[in-house]
């Protein structure tokens, strides 16, 4: 939601709004890291982001992993997040449909 001042000029997002967005992108990145590599292969990710996700999967140190999640969040700012969320939703729907068929 963008704010507009009394003259009708669009104001930049507040610091809190920027932080909320950064945390949301970082959470999305954490979700990518926790996915199976085969599922993540079909997602529309840039090469640097794909490499950062692969690197996060190899890390075992808690501090290093936290820093890697922050880096992934930074890279996510340059991604098409809407397309990525749509692809994740499609994968989730397909997985749910397969689970229903197995019952």
Instruction: Give the whole-angstrom CA distance, residue 71 versus residue 52.
Output: 8
**What totals of helices (H) and strands (E) does the chain contain, helices first?**
5, 0
Tallying the residues shown for the chain, one arrives at 103
CB 52 within 8 A of CB 28: no
Instruction: Give the whole-angstrom CA distance, residue 38 versus residue 17.
Output: 34
Hey, which residues does 10 pair with through a beta bridge? 4
Q: Greatest CA span in the chain, whole angstroms?
A: 59
User: What is the predicted pLDDT for the residue at 21?
Assistant: 92
Measured CA distances, 29 to 16, 36, 72, 83 (Å):
20, 13, 6, 14
2 pLDDT more than 70: no
1 pLDDT more than 70: no
User: What is the predicted pLDDT for the residue at 55?
Assistant: 96
User: What is the predicted pLDDT for the residue at 63?
Assistant: 96
Which one is predicted more confidently, 65 or 7? Answer: 65
pLDDT digits (tens, 9 = 90+) for 27-84: 999 999 999 888 888 889 999 999 999 999 999 999 999 999 999 999 999 999 999 9
Hey, which residues does 4 pair with through a beta bridge? 10
103 pLDDT more than 90: no
17 pLDDT more than 70: yes
What domains are defined for the chain? 15-102 (1.10.60.30)
User: What is the predicted pLDDT for the residue at 72?
Assistant: 95
């Amino acid at each position: 939601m963008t704010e507009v001042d009394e003259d009708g000029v669009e104001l930049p997002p507040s610091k809190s709004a920027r932080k909320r967005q950064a945390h949301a992108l970082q959470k999305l990145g954490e979700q990518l890291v926790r996915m199976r590599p085969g599922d993540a292969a079909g997602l529309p990710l840039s090469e640097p982001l794909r490499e950062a996700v692969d690197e996060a999967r190899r890390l075992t140190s808690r501090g290093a992993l936290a820093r890697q999640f922050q880096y992934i969040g930074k890279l996510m700012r340059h991604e098409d997040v809407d397309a990525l969320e749509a692809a994740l939703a499609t994968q989730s729907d397909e997985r749910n449909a397969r689970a229903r068929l197995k019952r």
